């Protein structure tokens, strides 16, 4: 299918002279690399993979050839080449590196640590700016209920030292995550399309043992992943500290007892699916936290089993000697010949599943029959009550949602401030 149509193209051509034309092609048996090899031609070409948050591969690949221009850097010399000819060239200072390149707006970066690429938490970035602006933080405070107060809102809360307190606000933004945002709204009597459509990325794990050392105390979260089957299935390495290894081996107690000695040769790997299931968030009388329920579909359980088997194949191909799936009373796998011991469909109650991605409990949109907020996070029926977190996502994206959540939150805040 070619887009835009000829009629639309001619209309767009009246407004400008650069109109993208796309063609959608069914390519079920192609991989990004095979597509690149067919498209690249004889000249300059590229293959880019999309990235989420600097750590997770996204679902898109970008292949291009015959570029309009090429920017080439050799040492400190930079050349801009068009049609095989150098049309611009300049030198880059080795002390300043890329920040000296023309047209790069280095002054838009915030602070020297950002230029150096150092990862920082909000306690080093946004929170100090917030405090310098005269604002107050109330750590150790739990919001119990929201009440309307004329045109504004009262947050009834409990502080761990002071006890009960009330916070008055003209406008209120809720950013407590997909579970607690929905729970707070429901405790406050707001229930329309709230807490009824929770979505997650169900994940099953395997602890793998290698003869080589694959783990280190400062390893963090490794970034090697497999995205060939995305968004249905995604594979990668997870946090593999001794404590997490022992937790991952809870179904294999003999191996768990040895983690203090064997952990340098162990790592935790996951298979994550894009689920069809839905969950709910409900408050329970007398309990502090809500009850969260999530129902997998039959297809979800088939995909989890398929993901578990494919993950085992990947790990054996990578040199693993033993695999410990997170299955109650599950087998220890010693080689590819043991894969037949894994179920074709994950039985109910057998797998110790987990997820770190929760969203969609207060979906955004203009359909009052399905959505809790409008497209900018404002709760339907209220002028000054907003949701601005993962609760807004309408469906499971199949990738790490952090970048999307941050972009939506920023967009909604700018809209509220009248800057968009």
224 is catalytic: no
Cα–Cα distance, 381 to 400 (Å, whole number) = 31
Cβ–Cβ under 8 Å, residues 172 and 186: no
Task: State the catalytic residue, choosing from 56, 201, 357, 380.
Answer: 357
Q: CB count, 10 Å around CB of 108?
A: 7
Cα–Cα distance, 279 to 386 (Å, whole number) = 22
Active site residues: 357
């Amino acid at each position: 299918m070619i887009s835009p149509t000829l009629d639309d193209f001619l209309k767009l051509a009246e407004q400008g002279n650069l109109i993208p034309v796309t063609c959608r092609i069914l390519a079920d048996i192609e991989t990004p690399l095979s597509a690149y090899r067919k498209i690249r031609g004889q000249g300059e070409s590229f293959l880019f993979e999309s990235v989420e948050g600097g750590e997770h591969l996204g679902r898109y690949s970008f292949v291009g050839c015959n570029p309009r221009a090429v920017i080439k850097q050799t040492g400190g010399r930079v050349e801009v080449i068009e049609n095989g000819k150098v049309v611009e060239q300049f030198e880059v200072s080795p002390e300043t590196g890329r920040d000296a390149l023309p047209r790069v707006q280095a002054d838009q970066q915030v602070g020297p640590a950002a230029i150096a690429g150092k990862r920082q938490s909000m306690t080093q970035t946004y929170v100090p700016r917030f405090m310098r602006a005269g604002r107050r933080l109330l750590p150790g405070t739990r919001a119990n209920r929201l009440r309307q107060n004329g045109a504004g809102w009262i947050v009834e809360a409990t502080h761990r030292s002071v006890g009960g307190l009330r916070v008055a606000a003209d406008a209120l933004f809720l950013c407590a995550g997909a579970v607690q945002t929905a729970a707070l709204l429901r405790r406050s009597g707001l229930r329309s399309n709230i807490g009824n459509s929770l979505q997650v990325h169900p994940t099953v794990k395997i602890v793998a043992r290698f003869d080589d050392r694959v783990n280190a105390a400062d390893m963090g979260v490794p970034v090697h992943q497999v995205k060939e089957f995305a968004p249905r299935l995604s594979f990668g390495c997870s946090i593999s500290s001794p404590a997490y290894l022992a937790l991952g081996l809870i179904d294999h107690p003999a191996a768990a007892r040895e983690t203090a000695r064997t952990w340098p040769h162990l790592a935790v790997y996951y298979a994550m699916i894009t689920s069809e299931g839905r969950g709910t968030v409900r408050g329970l009388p007398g309990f502090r936290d809500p009850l969260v329920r999530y129902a997998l579909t039959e297809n979800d359980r088939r995909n989890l089993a398929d993901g578990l088997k494919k993950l085992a194949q990947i790990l054996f191909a990578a040199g693993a000697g033993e695999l410990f799936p997170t299955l109650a009373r599950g087998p220890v796998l010693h080689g590819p010949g043991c894969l037949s011991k894994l179920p074709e469909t994950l039985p109910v109650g057998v797998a110790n599943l987990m997820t770190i991605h929760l969203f969609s409990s207060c979906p955004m949109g203009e359909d009052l029959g399905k959505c809790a907020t409008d497209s900018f996070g404002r709760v339907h029926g209220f002028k000054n009550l907003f949701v601005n977190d993962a609760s807004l996502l309408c469906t499971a994206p199949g990738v790490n949602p952090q970048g999307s959540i941050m972009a939506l939150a920023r967009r909604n805040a700018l809209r509220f401030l009248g800057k968009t």
